[in-house]
A and B are shown apart, each in its own frame.
Chain A
Amino acid sequence: MSEMYVSGQSGIGRLIQALAERGHRVIGPVVRNKALVYDEINGVEDLPKGWTDLQEPGRYRLEQRGDEKLFGYVVGSASWKQFLNPPETVLWSGTINPEGFMTDPAPEPPKYAFFGVRPCEVAALGVLDKVYATSNGLPSMAGYSAIREQAFIVAVNCVEPGGNCFCVSMDTGPTARGGHDIVITEIAHNGNMRYLIESGTAAGAEVLDGMANLEEPTKSEIEARDYFLTEAAAAMGRTLEVDGLPELLKGNARNPRWDSIADRCLACANCTMVCPTCFCNTVDDNLSLDGTHATRTRKWDSCFTLGFSYMHGRPMREGIGARYRQWITHKLATWVDQFEEMGCVGCGRCITWCPVGIDITQEAAAIRRADLRDTPIGIGGFV
Chain B
Amino acid sequence: MALPKLAVYKFASCDGCQLSILDVEDHLLDIASVVHIANFPEASREVVEGPYDLTLVEGSITTPHDAERIHEIRRQSKYLVTIGACATAGGIQALRNWKDTDLFASTVYANPEYLDTLHTSTPIKNHVEVNFELRGCPVDKMALVEVVAAFVQGRRPNIPEYSVCVECKRKGTPCVMVSHGTPCLGPVTQAGCGALCPSYNRGCYGCFGPMESPNTDMLAAAWQRLGVSHRGLVDAFRGFNAYAEPFRIASDHHEALAVAQGE
Contacts and interface: CB of A to CB of B under 8 A. Distances in A.
Interface of A: 32-35, 37, 58-62, 77-78, 82, 87-88, 263-270, 273-274, 284-291, 299-300, 302, 304-307, 320, 352-356
Nearest to B178: A60
B199 to A, nearest CB: 8
B166 A302 contact: yes
Given A287-B153, A356-B218, A269 B170 contact: no
Interface string B144-174: 0110110011000010111101100111111
Majority secondary structure of chain B interface residues (helix, strand, loop or mixed) = helix
Nearest to B27: A289
27 contacts: A32-B174, A33-B199, A35-B174, A37-B172, A60-B174, A78-B172, A87-B169, A263-B218, A265-B215, A265-B218, A266-B165, A266-B188, A267-B215, A270-B169, A273-B166, A286-B158, A289-B31, A289-B149, A299-B170, A300-B170, A306-B213, A320-B213, A320-B215, A355-B184, A355-B187, A355-B219, A356-B221
Counting from the closest, the 10 A-B pairs by CB-CB distance are: A273-B169, A35-B174, A87-B170, A268-B187, A77-B174, A268-B165, A266-B187, A289-B30, A305-B162, A35-B179
B75 interface: no
Contacts of A266: 163, 165, 187-188, 215, 218-219
A242 to B, nearest CB: 26
Given A60-B178, A266-B163, A268-B186, 19 more contacts: A33-B199, A58-B222, A87-B171, A263-B215, A265-B218, A266-B215, A268-B187, A269-B162, A270-B187, A273-B166, A289-B27, A289-B31, A290-B30, A290-B33, A302-B162, A305-B160, A307-B162, A355-B178, A355-B219
B218 to A, nearest CB: 6
A277 B60 CA distance: 45
Contacts of A289: 27, 30-31, 33-34, 145, 148-149, 152
B178 A353 contact: yes
A273 B166 CA distance: 7
A62 B174 CA distance: 12
B95 interface: no
A129 B151 CA distance: 40
A317 to B, nearest CB: 10
B175 interface: yes
Contacts of B173: 33
Contact of A60 (B163, B171, B179, B186): B179
B175 A34 contact: no
Contacts of B69: none
B253 interface: no
Name the residue among A87, A267, A289 with the largest chain B CB count within 10 angstroms. Answer: A289
Contacts of A58: 177-178, 222
B102 interface: no
Interface string B205-246: 000000011010111011000000000000000000000000
Contacts of B217: 263
B20 interface: no
